Amino acid sequence: MVERANKPKTLSSTPALPPQATVTFSDDNSRVIAELPTGERVEVLLYGATVISWKDASGDEKLWLSEAAKLDGSKAVRGGIPLVFPVFGSVPDHLKTKDLPQHGFARTSRWEFLGKSTSESLEGETTNDPSVKLDFGLSSGAPGLDPKAAAHWPYKFNLIYSVTLNRESLTTNILATNDDSQSFECHVLLHTYLRVNDITAVSVTGLGGAQYVDKVDSAKTKTQPTEGPLTITGETDRVYTPAENTVTVSEGSTEKYRVTRDKFSNVVVWNPWIDKAEGLADFAPKDGYRQMLCIEPGTVDSWQTVEAGDALAGAQTISLVG
């Protein structure tokens, strides 16, 4: 055998892989939990593919979840990030959705966990940003589909929902494909409950000059003032159509969240305040309205037509900035 002059030296040890994100199931297989090696964590209930918890590396919760929320699949979850499809609220005069549950069937069906993907930057890089993506699926004919959907939504469809956890952000992305031979109309919305410390100290920017429908005031169309941020001083339920893609939520002088939407035309801002919270059976504690604000990207001000074989997509990224 001829000896090579520059043959490679034997490695003294095998290089270790960088720490990996972990993905586990709860003991009852009702939820999927993903955790980054740096400690960030997200928990997704298969019922509704509802994100029910998102914690930063120090364990601080970023989403509000009602203490009375049903997590056993008996009803839609109050809090976290419920999925709204194919109808926002109830629309009695819309033939194809009028008999569906409020906010549709996506949040009242058991989704299938399709798998995970992870990525970590190489050792030695100036930034180390591990991430994990969880994929969930729901389709016509699936065993977990809400029976009301099968009875009242006469279309073949396929939904793919992805939840991506990064060190400083959470991204949720939904893709709705029409597998039918005819078009259908739908709404899509990500009903995100952000946790805050004190709603009276919260301000929202990125909505200045936007038109909105004020559902607390007889669905009148109004315009958000360009001067100053939006503050919450009573029951708030508004469907905005802003020009800017990012809404920023601050507490006092400190920015807390930036919610950036992609391919969604609307942002719903909701807080039930005192009287509405009292009337919601699954809203607890009753003064919990002080610790939450819903910033909900979606397309709900008009029906979106999805032609046969086409798809509708939308996403939000919630970034931590405080």
Contacts of 51 (CB under 8 A, 6+ apart): 42, 43, 44, 45, 63, 80, 81, 163, 170, 172
d(CA 259, CA 108): 25
- Given 40, 43, 120, 296, the catalytic residue: 296
Residue 102 annotated as lining a ligand binding site: yes
d(CA 20, CA 7): 33
Buried b (16+ CB within 10 A) or exposed e, 207-218: bbebebbebeee
Residue 107 annotated as lining a ligand binding site: yes
d(CA 254, CA 321): 8
Residue 78 annotated as lining a ligand binding site: yes
Annotation marks residue 296 as catalytic? yes
Contacts of 3 (CB under 8 A, 6+ apart): none
Check residue 147 and report its DSSP letter: H
Q: Which residues are registered as beta bridge partners of 50? A: 45
Structure tokens at 44: 């997704």
Structure tokens at 138: 């729901």
3-state secondary structure 227-240: CCCEECCCCEEEEE
Contacts of 84 (CB under 8 A, 6+ apart): 103, 104, 106, 107, 187, 188, 189, 190, 191, 296, 298, 300
- Given 112, 185, 191, 255, the catalytic residue: 191
Annotation marks residue 123 as catalytic? no
Distance of CA 316 to the CA centre of its chain: 7
Cite the annotated binding site for substrate by residue number.
78, 102, 107
Active site residues: 191, 296
Cite the annotated binding site by residue number.
78, 102, 107
